[in-house]
Amino acid sequence: MQNKRFEWSVIRQYMTDPTILRGLVTTLELTALSMVIGIVLGVLLAVMRLSPNALVSGLAWLYIWFFRGTPVLVQILFWFNIAAVYPRFGVGLPFGGPQLTHLNFTTLITPFIAGVLALGLNEGAYMAEIVRAGLISVDEGQTEAAQALGMSRLLTMRRIVLPQAMRVIVPPTGNETISMLKTSSLVSVIAVVELLYAAQIIYARTYQTIPLLIVASLWYLICTTVLSIGQYYVERHYARGSRAQQAAMLDFWRNMTDIRPFFGLRR
């Protein structure tokens, strides 16, 4: 820690550098947007995979197979270069009908959009499996009771099964969010100025490589810490109605906040 090459004064100076802060905001935006896409897609794919319809569940399986089976870095580069394959993306009527609308991929897919798409679509595949695990963890009797009351399949999923699946879904989702925060640094390869790339831009100019990497790392640490605390409260919310789990959470929190061991006192 005392090593002079860490240059703590440089670190302190760059922690609040505008370029770094802008990069931090971009990282947070990337993480939030990709996770929203990932979670929405994950719920959709999980419900599809559990569908009795073989075509529907097969489609979901295929999606997960593909996006989980290729490196996310490749997917990022792919979306960045999508305009080379499809310069324009049109929506029209088939058999020579009029084109209703079209999107110009060359201008639409900015590096940021490419990054969000790649990270979000990839995350969807992982979230699908997490959500599926949650859904099948809920006792089948819950679905039957809801159906016996005349609730539709969709209503049963939304009001009865999903809320109870959340207890299983939330912890790994917190994990995924924390992982996403760090994985988002991969989009530096397509020149999105997120936290890591912002640090790289600065040290390419000043040659203060190690201090700036520490600046980026510290910011990542701060963000993951805040996320972990948020996760605790979300988990507590979904532990409603489960006595054992609420007791366990309370114990965990007491142990976490118990400062006596730091002063050599016994609990």
Partner 1 sequence: MTPMVKAEGVHKRFGRLEVLKGIDLEVQPGQVMCILGPSGSGKTTFLRCINHLEQINAGRLWVDGELVGYRQVGDKLYELPEREVARKRTEIGMVFQRFNLFGHMTALGNVVEAPIRVKKTPKDVAVRSAKELLVRVGLADKCDAYPSQLSGGQQQRVAIARALAMNPKLMLFDEPTSALDPELVGEVLDVMRTLAEIGMTMVVVTHEIGFARGAGDVAVFMDDGVVVESGDPQDVLVNPQHERTKAFLSKVL
Residues that bind partner 1 (CB under 8 A): 139, 141-142, 144-153, 155, 159-160, 163-164, 238, 240-243
Q: Which residues are CB-contacts of 241 (< 8 A; sequence separation ≥ 6)?
A: none
Residue type, 193: V
The alpha carbon of 58 is separated from its chain's Cα centroid by a whole number of angstroms, namely: 24
List the beta bridge partners of residue 91.
Answer: 101
Handedness of CA 242, 244, 245, 248 (dihedral sign): positive
Question: At its nearest, how many Å lie between partner 1 and the CB of residue 229?
Answer: 23
Question: In this complex, which beta carbon is closest to partner 1, that of residue 55 or of residue 148?
Answer: 148
Question: In this complex, which beta carbon is closest to partner 1, that of residue 165 or of residue 192?
Answer: 165
Handedness of CA 178, 182, 187, 191 (dihedral sign): positive
Question: At its nearest, how many Å lie between partner 1 and the CB of residue 141?
Answer: 4
Question: In this complex, which beta carbon is closest to partner 1, that of residue 102 or of residue 158?
Answer: 158
Question: In this complex, which beta carbon is closest to partner 1, that of residue 241 or of residue 261?
Answer: 241
Question: In this complex, which beta carbon is closest to partner 1, that of residue 19 or of residue 142?
Answer: 142
Q: Which residues are CB-contacts of 23 (< 8 A; sequence separation ≥ 6)?
A: 193, 194, 195, 196, 197, 198, 199
Question: At its nearest, how many Å lie between partner 1 and the CB of residue 179?
Answer: 27
CA dist., res. 117 & res. 108, Å (int): 12
Neighbours of 140 (CB within 10 A): 9
Contact of 26 with 195, CB cutoff 8 Å: yes
Label the pairing between strands 88-92 and 99-104: antiparallel
The alpha carbon of 153 is separated from its chain's Cα centroid by a whole number of angstroms, namely: 28
Question: In this complex, which beta carbon is closest to partner 1, that of residue 1 or of residue 244?
Answer: 244
Question: At its nearest, how many Å lie between partner 1 and the CB of residue 243?
Answer: 5
Residue type, 246: Q
Pinpoint the alpha helices (H) of 186-208. Answer: 195-206
Question: At its nearest, how many Å lie between partner 1 and the CB of residue 127?
Answer: 21
Question: At its nearest, how many Å lie between partner 1 and the CB of residue 148?
Answer: 4
Question: In this complex, which beta carbon is closest to partner 1, that of residue 143 or of residue 175?
Answer: 143
Question: At its nearest, how many Å lie between partner 1 and the CB of residue 165?
Answer: 10
